Amino acid sequence: MDLQIENHSGIALVTIDNPPVNALGKATRLALADAIARLEADPAVGAIVLTGAGKMFVGGADITEFDRPPEEPHLPDLIQQIAASSKPWIAALHGTALGGGMELALGCHYRIAAPGTRLGLPEVNLGIIPGAGGTQRLPRLIGVEAAIPVVAENRVVTAGQDAEPGLIDQVVQGDLVGAALTFAAGRIGQPLPVAASARPVSATPEVWTAAEARIAKASKGNPAPLAALAVLRFGVENGAEAGLANERMVFLRLRASEEAAALRHLFFAERAAPRPADLRDVTPRTLTRAGVIGGGTMGTGIGAALLAAGLSVTLSERDEAALQRGLATLKGLVEAGVKRGLITEAQAGERLARLSGTVGLAAMAPCDLVIEAVFETLEIKRPVFAELGRICSPDAILATNTSYLDPRRIAEGLAHPDRFLGLHFFSPAHVMKLLEIVPTPDTSRQTLATAFDLARRLGKIPVRSGICDGFIGNRILRRYRAAAEDMLRQGVPVPEIDAALRAFGFAMGPFEMQDMAGLDISWLQREAARAQGETIAVQPGDLLVLAGRKGQKTGGGWYDYVPEDRKPRPSAEAARIIAPLVTGNLSLSPAEIADRLVATMAEEGRAILAEGIATQPSDIDLVEVHGYGFPRSKGGPMFLTERRGRGAHGTSAGSGYRQDQGRGCRA
């Protein structure tokens, strides 16, 4: 049932009922079109209350339909019919009213809402603009300056808190529908308010200039936010009728864009990530007390993330001095959230009240989750787990944050290995969204399901990885770097490679990234392997490290740096040092450089899939986007190469990508 209609003494109560989010798919639109026509024609109906069943009003248009051409009845037309109705339509809002849901409410003559109802136009996140009147009606209701952040910058407003006057006519505690029916009864036979689209609107040139600068800076390869602003402006300057026609045209153009397809792909992959299909029958355990071993960068970041998710955290270090340093760092991370306006003083205080510290591991005994983040060697990690195995209860989940070591070897000899797994956070762990979840063959399904549930609570994007060197992300990173160095040996200059990757949408290129992290890390790994007898040819990075150029921290690596400035400057000295290893004079355009490197990432991704290390291509895209800065508006290396492959060959055959996808890629 997509729509229910009840008669309440001359007032029609129309309830949209399309779980889980009351999306306005075709069947719902057909039912709504029918209701609009029937209620308009029915002389016994004096007013209409429009509401949503379940936990929200309407979550928006049905995004799963966006891979197909638009089908009638179109939402903007339905909203226009409501706005033009001779009878008052009252939207009764609760939960969320997003995208087309908010636009539907804007088309009604009145809006009343339960306190806490969230209203927003998140279309730009999907690479599109609000396409059912939102860009035109909202500025006429709340003013241009207030409307811009909602239309183009994903600002969500809350009824009873920060929703501007003009948006909500009444906030009601208690029985929302009852209050809406009473409100409607008082409007029957009264003159209708001036339609939103007929209200005056204006803005100074400064408002547009400031918004344009702000939005251009933040929109990173996604054309939608600036398009949304331009469409809003066009309507303000040319009138609502022209504005609505222009909105529709731009909406349809962007709906068919590559960026929108990429962002839709990520939308569905992100929604599906915390709830893997094969674990839906398993009830996760509820975790409340966490222990974190190691007060370094990773441990403190993980601690801050756990505190933010509501767990109590005990930080463990080897000695009192290290513990005090770790606690101070962790406290600093929480307090930085206050300075950046992300949390209040009170919230920070509440979080820090759940933090304690300890020297040694004895205090881990009551924890139901312990995450180890100590130095990255087996010799140090193994004894930690041997002791945790003795101290903690057999059902406490024990996790290693290793990024390269084999979790099976870390857990060797551990009692109850079913409660052990890898949780690979990315630095800074309280900020980065990605969490690689690495089960061993012994990990129980409940432990695994609990890890996914923890990720959900932490607000992370979890991706399951099998065991291999570097898991999914660092394995691809290694291939990507090797391919970049290969290109360099063939004669493409370092600054050209980095600039090409930046133009593609990464925040920095592979060599700039190494300079930031330090070239000595991978050099030490190579040296260790060489010491074990592995044959690894001399690499450009070896020459730089041996010449004392370890990256930013030594004032030079692939680039030169001046003190107190992280800006990389092309280095004649670095070029001279690596010159003996440069054997070609290859010349590539920026697009060719980026294409080749992304193709390498995808190739490694396909190998990872073939080996069963990753479950589905979209997981690899999530890893790259959330852990390694792959531009969102390109969807990830698997998505991009698959799209390009299909575009080039005019076929959807290929790597089997679509068959593996979730609902977002249904044709």
Q: Does 306 sit near ligand 3H9 (CB under 6 A)?
A: no
Q: Does 449 sit near ligand 3H9 (CB under 6 A)?
A: no
Q: Does 100 sit near ligand 3H9 (CB under 6 A)?
A: yes
- Give, in order, the Cα–Cα distances in Å from 261 to each of 253, 411, 465, 667: 12, 42, 26, 12
Q: Which stretch binds ligand 3H9 (CB under 6 A): 41-49, 127-135, 411-419, 482-490?
A: 127-135
Site for ligand 3H9 in 569-608 (CB under 6 A): none
Q: Which stretch binds ligand 3H9 (CB under 6 A): 20-28, 206-214, 330-338, 484-492?
A: 20-28
Q: Does 271 sit near ligand 3H9 (CB under 6 A)?
A: yes
Q: Which stretch binds ligand 3H9 (CB under 6 A): 44-52, 58-66, 452-460, 491-499?
A: 58-66
Task: Give residue number: closest CB to ligand 3H9.
Answer: 99
Packing angle of the helix pair 134-142, 240-255 (nearest 10 deg) = 140
* In contact, 367 and 289? CB cutoff 8 Å: yes
Instruction: Give Cα 586 distance to the centre of its chain.
Output: 37
CB of 268 to ligand 3H9, least distance (A): 6
Q: Does 122 sit near ligand 3H9 (CB under 6 A)?
A: yes
Among 11, 14, 33, 60, binds ligand 3H9 (CB under 6 A): 60
Q: Which residues contact 414 (CB under 8 A, 6 or more apart)?
A: 385, 386, 389, 398, 420
Name the one residue in this structure whose structure tokens are 């029958």: 281
Name the one residue in this structure whose structure tokens are 């002389």: 43
The closest alpha carbon to 104, from 171, 59, 72, belongs to 59
Among 11, 52, 91, 103, binds ligand 3H9 (CB under 6 A): 103
CB of 119 to ligand 3H9, least distance (A): 11
H/E run at residue 544:
helix 540-546
CB of 409 to ligand 3H9, least distance (A): 36
Q: Does 624 sit near ligand 3H9 (CB under 6 A)?
A: no
Q: Which stretch binds ligand 3H9 (CB under 6 A): 96-104, 201-209, 317-325, 454-462?
A: 96-104
Q: What whole-number distance in Å separates Cα of residue 476 and Cα of residue 512?
A: 17
* SS3 state at 312: strand
* SS3 state at 313: strand
Among 4, 64, 81, 655, binds ligand 3H9 (CB under 6 A): 64
Q: How many CA atoms lie within 13 A of 555 on its CB side?
A: 6
CB of 130 to ligand 3H9, least distance (A): 4
> Which CB atom, from 98 or from 501, has the smaller least distance to ligand 3H9?
98
Q: Which stretch binds ligand 3H9 (CB under 6 A): 55-63, 281-289, 507-515, 555-563?
A: 55-63
Q: What whole-number distance in Å separates Cα of residue 371 and Cα of residue 368?
A: 10
> Which CB atom, from 103 or from 604, has the smaller least distance to ligand 3H9?
103
CB of 102 to ligand 3H9, least distance (A): 8
CB of 179 to ligand 3H9, least distance (A): 23
CB of 230 to ligand 3H9, least distance (A): 16
Catalytic residue among 123, 259, 372, 496: 123
CB atoms within 10 A of CB 311: 21
HEC sequence for 350-386: HHHHCEEEEECCHHHCCCCEEEECCCCCHHHHHHHHH
Contacts 24+ apart (CB under 8 A), 99-102: 99/59, 99/60, 99/61, 99/123, 99/130, 99/134, 100/24, 100/58, 100/60, 100/61, 100/75, 100/130, 100/131, 100/132, 101/22, 101/24, 101/52, 101/56, 101/57, 101/58, 101/59, 101/60, 102/130, 102/134
> Which CB atom, from 126 or from 236, has the smaller least distance to ligand 3H9?
126
* In contact, 509 and 500? CB cutoff 8 Å: yes
* In contact, 584 and 486? CB cutoff 8 Å: no
123 catalytic per annotation: yes
Q: Does 63 sit near ligand 3H9 (CB under 6 A)?
A: yes
Q: Does 62 sit near ligand 3H9 (CB under 6 A)?
A: yes
CB of 303 to ligand 3H9, least distance (A): 26
Among 130, 223, 243, 295, binds ligand 3H9 (CB under 6 A): 130
> Which CB atom, from 26 or from 331, has the smaller least distance to ligand 3H9?
26
Residue type, 166: G
Q: Does 268 sit near ligand 3H9 (CB under 6 A)?
A: yes
Q: Does 61 sit near ligand 3H9 (CB under 6 A)?
A: yes
CB of 517 to ligand 3H9, least distance (A): 34
- Give, in order, the Cα–Cα distances in Å from 548 to each of 62, 498, 543, 560: 57, 22, 9, 12
> Which CB atom, from 55 or from 530, has the smaller least distance to ligand 3H9?
55
573 catalytic per annotation: no
Among 68, 390, 663, 666, binds ligand 3H9 (CB under 6 A): 663
Site for ligand 3H9 in 462-481 (CB under 6 A): none
> Which CB atom, from 57 or from 183, has the smaller least distance to ligand 3H9?
57
What are 427's two structure tokens? Answer: 């630095």
Name the one residue in this structure whose structure tokens are 């209203």: 119
The closest alpha carbon to 541, from 525, 557, 554, belongs to 557
Among 32, 114, 119, 126, binds ligand 3H9 (CB under 6 A): 126
The closest alpha carbon to 476, from 619, 578, 635, belongs to 619
Give the strand pairing for 397-400 and 420-425.
parallel
> Which CB atom, from 65 or from 560, has the smaller least distance to ligand 3H9?
65
> Which CB atom, from 122 or from 294, has the smaller least distance to ligand 3H9?
122
Catalytic residue among 103, 372, 512, 642: 103
Q: What whole-number distance in Å separates Cα of residue 449 and Cα of residue 331?
A: 30
Q: Does 20 sit near ligand 3H9 (CB under 6 A)?
A: yes
Q: What whole-number distance in Å separates Cα of residue 504 and Cα of residue 515?
A: 20
Among 107, 131, 235, 389, binds ligand 3H9 (CB under 6 A): 131
The residues that are catalytic are 103, 123
Instruction: Summarize as ranges the residues that interact with ligand 3H9 (CB under 6 A).
Output: 20-21, 23, 59-64, 75, 96, 98-100, 103, 122-123, 126, 130-132, 268, 271-272, 663
